[in-house]
Amino acid sequence: MQDAFADQSASMDESLMVNIKEIDHQHQLLFNLIHLLEKSEQSSSNKDLTEGIVDALIDYSFTHFLTEERYMDRFEFPDADFHKKQHSRYRETVMDFKEKIKNGDDVSLDNVVVFLKRWWVNHIQINDMELGVFLNMAGAI
């Protein structure tokens, strides 16, 4: 599953397209932010820059979840509760990362980046894909 993320240009692999324009666009932006975080980690030890990217990533992922959850509610997606729970769990995990980074705790950014890539690829390929298929069948594009 990691392979879907291998492209350093940050463009999304076909296997990550859920076929709902707004959602695919937001996923692309999220991946761009993850690549930025990865680069900032490799190129400098600038804590402010890293914190800024982490903040942007958190804000934008929350916006993205609201978008998906609005689609779920509007089209009465039957698996909404489970999917929303996945989003909440992610929220808790990244807020925990943020706190640790802010407090100067010994957080391995490497591990954060690995977690983010894995989480997004898995979540999109399994949960968001299921949502995309449902929404397409319900007439959303």
Copy the structure tokens of residue 57.
């990533």
Pick the closest to residue 50 from 89, 104, 86 (CA basis).
104
Instruction: Closer to Fe ion by CB, 38 or 68: give it.
Output: 68
38-46, 53-61, 67-75, 110-118 -> range binding Fe ion (CB under 5 A): 67-75
Helix 80-102 and helix 109-123, axial crossing angle in degrees, nearest 10: 170
Instruction: Closer to Fe ion by CB, 77 or 107: give it.
Output: 77
Copy the structure tokens of residue 70.
């609005």
Q: Are 71 and 108 in contact (CB under 8 A)?
A: no
Q: Whole-number minimum distance, CB 47 to Fe ion, in Å?
A: 29
2-10, 32-40, 44-52, 124-132 -> range binding Fe ion (CB under 5 A): 124-132
Selected from 128, 132, 134, 135, the binder of Fe ion by CB under 5 A is: 128
8-16, 34-42, 46-54, 123-131 -> range binding Fe ion (CB under 5 A): 123-131
CA distance 11 to 133: 22
- Residue ranges in contact with Fe ion by CB under 5 A: 68, 128
